[in-house]
């Protein structure tokens, strides 16, 4: 249940769900600019057939809208000849679901029923992969896109490279159009609705990878994402936290910080402050007056819920408050 009225607050540190990496590439096919929900590739070509490539990925909540019933009344995407949704998946998909829930059910089915086979030399088309229960990353992407289209969603595969450490390998993933959110990337070999700044989109299948120099490596912002079993999930809705003040305002400026791993949100607290689009999970709340910690508390925030918390500040001036 959503609760509480909210006043404006001055945020003094920024959004911290994004990860970026920078690469120099030469001697081969070069990547292309691309933008999707939570994913951006910028390409600046040089005069010597090289390119400087910046990739930004985000695990911010997707913010898809609408119901699956609304998806079903839209235009039906084309699927391969002879393709049908598995009976179990057809049963799982219900019109009253949200569009995000229905598409996520497709991704869940892929995780539960298809195996990544890195050295698979057999055909990687959707029907072949579904028939034998697994394939390479390209086969999983082809099968996932076909299943999403069979369920009524627009979907397409994306070819490119995946940078792991200092190594760049050919890879393929999927984008699905969700109402209200546009094209949303998802990598069936990694998690649901997740790609990283190590995913670099190309115009076609990469037969021969260019030379790749990692200028700024991916930092990895996936820790702390919600999980279903062992699978990481980028949520559709974030959590919100409304902090209210109980105590003296005369003791000095009050700073409220939220921390989750390396991520930090911070705001000046008046009578009330709101933190929005927080990833669900465990956060540490810290209240400071003039640099002194007066409250520290662990909070568990839930997806799509507005949480309310009262910060109890002391009436004593900061120099009399213990850490």
- The CATH number of whichever domain residue 265 belongs to comes to 2.60.40.1120
How many helices (DSSP H) and strands (DSSP E) are in the chain?
5, 20
**Residue 3 maps to a domain:** no
Same domain, 214 and 243: no
Residue 141: give its domain's CATH number.
3.10.620
Same domain, 216 and 245: no
Same domain, 248 and 305: yes
Same domain, 51 and 132: yes
Do residues 34 and 55 make contact, with C-beta atoms less than 8 angstroms apart?
no
Mean residue pLDDT across the chain:
86
Task: Among 165, 188, 220, give the residue marking a domain's end.
Answer: 220
User: pTM for this structure?
Assistant: 0.81
- Given strand 292-301, what is the order of strands in its sheet? 263-268, 254-260, 281-289, 292-301
Number of independent structural domains in the chain: 2
Residues sharing a CB contact under 8 Å with residue 91, sequence separation 6 or more, in sequence order: none
**Residue 259 maps to a domain:** yes
Distance between CA atoms of 89 and 111, rounded to whole angstroms? Answer: 12
Do residues 285 and 258 make contact, with C-beta atoms less than 8 angstroms apart?
yes
Confidence at residue 15, expressed as pLDDT on a 0 to 100 scale: 35
**Residue 150 maps to a domain:** yes
Kindly write down the DSSP assignment for every residue of 56-74, as one continuous string. Answer: EEE-S-----SBHHHHHTS
Residues sharing a CB contact under 8 Å with residue 259, sequence separation 6 or more, in sequence order: 265, 283, 284, 286
The confidence band for 11, taking pLDDT boundaries of 50, 70 and 90, is very low
Its domain, for residue 263, covers 239-320
Same domain, 178 and 209: yes
Same domain, 140 and 174: yes
Do residues 166 and 144 make contact, with C-beta atoms less than 8 angstroms apart?
no
Task: Judge whether residue 224 has pLDDT over 80.
Answer: no
Task: Among 187, 220, 253, give the residue marking a domain's end.
Answer: 220
**Residue 233 maps to a domain:** no
Give residue for tokens 């627009």. Answer: 154
Task: Among 188, 220, 252, give the residue marking a domain's end.
Answer: 220
**Residue 57 maps to a domain:** yes
**H/E element, 272:** strand 272-278
Residue 229 falls in which region: left (phi positive, over 0), alpha (psi -120 to 50) or beta: left
pLDDT tens figures, 116-168: 998 999 999 999 999 999 999 999 999 999 999 999 999 999 999 999 887 89
Same domain, 143 and 60: yes
Same domain, 209 and 170: yes
Distance between CA atoms of 133 and 110, rounded to whole angstroms? Answer: 9
Kindly report the backbone phi and psi dihedral angles of residue 76, in degrees, each rounded to the nearest multiple of 5, phi listed first.
Answer: -85, 120
**Residue 230 maps to a domain:** no
Confidence at residue 101, expressed as pLDDT on a 0 to 100 scale: 97
Confidence at residue 170, expressed as pLDDT on a 0 to 100 scale: 94
Distance between CA atoms of 139 and 129, rounded to whole angstroms? Answer: 6
Same domain, 167 and 254: no
Compare 206 and 47 and report the one with higher pLDDT.
Answer: 206
**Residue 226 maps to a domain:** no
Task: Judge whether residue 69 has pLDDT over 90.
Answer: yes
CB atoms < 10 A from the CB of 17, how many?
Answer: 18
**Residue 7 maps to a domain:** no
Same domain, 177 and 244: no
Distance between CA atoms of 21 and 163, rounded to whole angstroms? Answer: 10
The confidence band for 245, taking pLDDT boundaries of 50, 70 and 90, is confident
Average pLDDT score over residue span 84-103: 96
Same domain, 285 and 141: no
Angle of CA points 124, 129, 134, to nearest 5°: 105
Determine the straight-line distance between the first and last CA of the chain, rounded to whole angstroms: 35
Distance between CA atoms of 40 and 33, rounded to whole angstroms? Answer: 8
The confidence band for 319, taking pLDDT boundaries of 50, 70 and 90, is very low
Do residues 172 and 160 make contact, with C-beta atoms less than 8 angstroms apart?
yes
Confidence at residue 123, expressed as pLDDT on a 0 to 100 scale: 96
Same domain, 167 and 285: no
Radius of gyration for the alpha carbons in the chain, expressed in angstroms and rounded: 23
């Amino acid at each position: 249940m959503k609760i509480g009225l909210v006043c404006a607050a001055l945020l003094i540190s920024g959004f911290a769900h994004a990860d970026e990496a920078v690469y120099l590439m030469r001697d081969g096919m070069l990547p292309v600019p691309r933008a999707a929900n939570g994913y951006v590739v910028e390409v600046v070509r040089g005069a010597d057939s090289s390119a400087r490539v910046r990739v930004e990925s985000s695990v911010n909540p997707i913010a898809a809208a609408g119901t699956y019933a609304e998806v079903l009344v839209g235009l039906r995407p084309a699927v391969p000849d002879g393709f049908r949704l598995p009976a179990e998946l057809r049963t799982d998909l219900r019109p009253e679901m949200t569009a995000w829930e229905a598409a996520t059910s497709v991704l869940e089915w892929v995780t539960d029923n298809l195996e990544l086979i890195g050295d698979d030399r057999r055909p990687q088309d959707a029907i072949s992969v579904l028939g034998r229960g697994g394939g390479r990353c390209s086969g999983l992407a082809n099968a996932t896109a076909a299943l999403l289209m069979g369920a009524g969603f627009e979907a397409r595969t994306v070819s490119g490279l995946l940078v792991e450490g200092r190594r760049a390998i050919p890879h393929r993933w999927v984008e699905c159009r969700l109402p209200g959110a546009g094209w949303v990337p998802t990598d069936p070999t990694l998690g649901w609705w997740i790609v990283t700044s190590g995913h670099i989109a190309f115009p076609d299948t990469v037969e021969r990878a260019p030379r790749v120099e990692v200028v700024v490596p991916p930092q990895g912002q996936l820790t702390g994402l919600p999980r279903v079993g062992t699978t990481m999930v980028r949520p559709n809705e974030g959590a919100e936290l409304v902090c209210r003040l109980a105590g003296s305002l005369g003791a000095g400026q009050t700073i409220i910080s939220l921390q989750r791993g390396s991520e930090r949100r911070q705001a000046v607290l008046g009578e009330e402050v709101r933190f929005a689009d927080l990833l669900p999970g465990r956060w540490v709340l810290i209240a400071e007056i003039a640099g002194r910690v007066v409250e520290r508390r662990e909070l568990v925030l839930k997806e799509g819920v507005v949480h309310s918390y009262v910060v109890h500040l002391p009436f004593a001036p900061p120099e009399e408050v213990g850490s």
